[in-house]
Structure 1
Amino acid sequence: MSRAFARAGHAAALVCVAVAGIVGLVVAIGAVEPRGLIAFGVALAFAGLIGLIDLRPTITNTLVYLAGGTAIVFAAAVLVMSRDDLFTDSNNVLLSLPRTALILVGGAGIGTGIAVVWASLGWALGEAVVFVACTIVGGAWVINVPSLLVLLMLVAIRSFDGLARRSQRQRAIGLARAGRQARELALRHEYELRATARLHDTVLGHLVAISDAGSGPVSDRLRAGIRHDLGLVIGRDWAVDRRGESAPTATVGDALPPELLPLAFTAMADASLRVRVTGDLSVLSRVPPEQLAELDAAVAQCIVNVARHAQVDEMELAVGVGGGEVTVAVMDSGVGFDTSHVPEDRIGLRTSIRARVEQAGGTVRLWSTEGIGTTVVLTLPLEPHDDRPTAGEANA
Structure 2
Amino acid sequence: MNLGLPEHLARESFSRALANAGHCAALVCLVIGIVVVAESAFAGGAEGELAAVMLLAAQALLLVLVARFPTVTLTVVYLVAGSAVVFALTVLVMQPENGVDSTNNPLLALPRIALLLVGGAGAGSAIALTWATLGFGLGEAATFLGAAIGGGSWVPNVAAAGAFGLLVMVRAYDGLSRRRDTRKETGLHRASQQTRELALRHDYELRATARLHDTALSHLVAIAAAGSGPIDERLRVGIRQDLGLIVGRDWAIDHGDAAIDDGAFGSAGAAGGAGRPGRSGGNGPIAAAATRTVLPEALEAARNAGLGVRITGDPAALEVLGPVRASVLDAAVAQCLVNVARHAGVGEAEVAIGPGHGDVTVVVVDSGLGFDVDAVPDDRIGLRTSIRARIEQEGGSVQVWSSPGVGTTVVLTVPEGGA
Counterparts of 2:304 and 2:225, CA distance in 1: 13
- In the alignment, structure 1 residue 179 sits paired with structure 2 residue 192: yes
Check 1:293–1:28 CA distance in 2 against 1; reply closer, same or farther (3 A cut): farther
State the shift of 1:246 in Å.
7.1
State the shift of 1:26 in Å.
4.0
- In the alignment, structure 1 residue 286 sits paired with structure 2 residue 320: yes
Aligned to 1:202: 215
Aligned to 2:274: none
Counterpart secondary structure, 2:52:
helix
State the shift of 1:155 in Å.
0.8
- In the alignment, structure 1 residue 218 sits paired with structure 2 residue 231: yes
Which of residues 74, 92, 96 in structure 1 aligns to 2:109? 96
- In the alignment, structure 1 residue 380 sits paired with structure 2 residue 414: yes
- In the alignment, structure 1 residue 250 sits paired with structure 2 residue 265: yes
- In the alignment, structure 1 residue 50 sits paired with structure 2 residue 63: yes
Aligned residues: CA RMSD: 2.3
Counterpart secondary structure, 1:317:
strand
Which of residues 267, 280, 293 in structure 1 aligns to 2:301? 267
Residues matched between the structures, number: 383
- What is the TM-score normalised by the length of structure 1? 0.89
Per-residue CA deviation, residues 240-291 of structure 1 (Å, 9 max, x unaligned), is 3332547562141526733242212323333433333222222221123221
Aligned to 1:328: 362
Aligned to 1:113: 126
Counterpart secondary structure, 2:398:
strand
Aligned to 1:61: 74
Amino acid paired to 1:376: V
Q: In percent, how many aligned pairs have the same letter?
A: 54
- What is the TM-score normalised by the length of structure 2? 0.85
Counterparts of 2:113 and 2:386, CA distance in 1: 74
Aligned to 1:154: 167
Amino acid paired to 1:145: V
CA contact (8 A) 1:271 1:307 kept: yes
Aligned to 2:176: 163
- In the alignment, structure 1 residue 338 sits paired with structure 2 residue 372: yes
State the shift of 1:125 in Å.
1.6
CA contact (8 A) 2:365 2:407 kept: yes
State the shift of 1:228 in Å.
2.1
Shifted more, 188-197 versus 235-244: the winner is 235-244
Check 1:62–1:244 CA distance in 2 against 1; reply closer, same or farther (3 A cut): closer
Counterparts of 1:381 and 1:247, CA distance in 2: 25
State the shift of 1:336 in Å.
0.7
Counterparts of 2:361 and 2:99, CA distance in 1: 95
CA contact (8 A) 2:398 2:413 kept: yes
Check 1:294–1:246 CA distance in 2 against 1; reply closer, same or farther (3 A cut): closer
Counterpart secondary structure, 2:362:
strand
Shifted more, 248-257 versus 365-374: the winner is 248-257
Counterpart secondary structure, 1:105:
coil
Check 1:312–1:79 CA distance in 2 against 1; reply closer, same or farther (3 A cut): same
State the shift of 1:139 in Å.
1.7
Aligned to 2:339: 305
Which of residues 204, 228, 234 in structure 1 aligns to 2:241? 228
CA contact (8 A) 2:223 2:231 kept: yes
Counterpart secondary structure, 2:165:
helix
Counterpart secondary structure, 2:117:
helix
Counterparts of 1:71 and 1:283, CA distance in 2: 84
Amino acid paired to 1:63: V
State the shift of 1:102 in Å.
0.7
Shifted more, 226-235 versus 251-260: the winner is 251-260
Amino acid paired to 1:314: E
- In the alignment, structure 1 residue 16 sits paired with structure 2 residue 29: yes
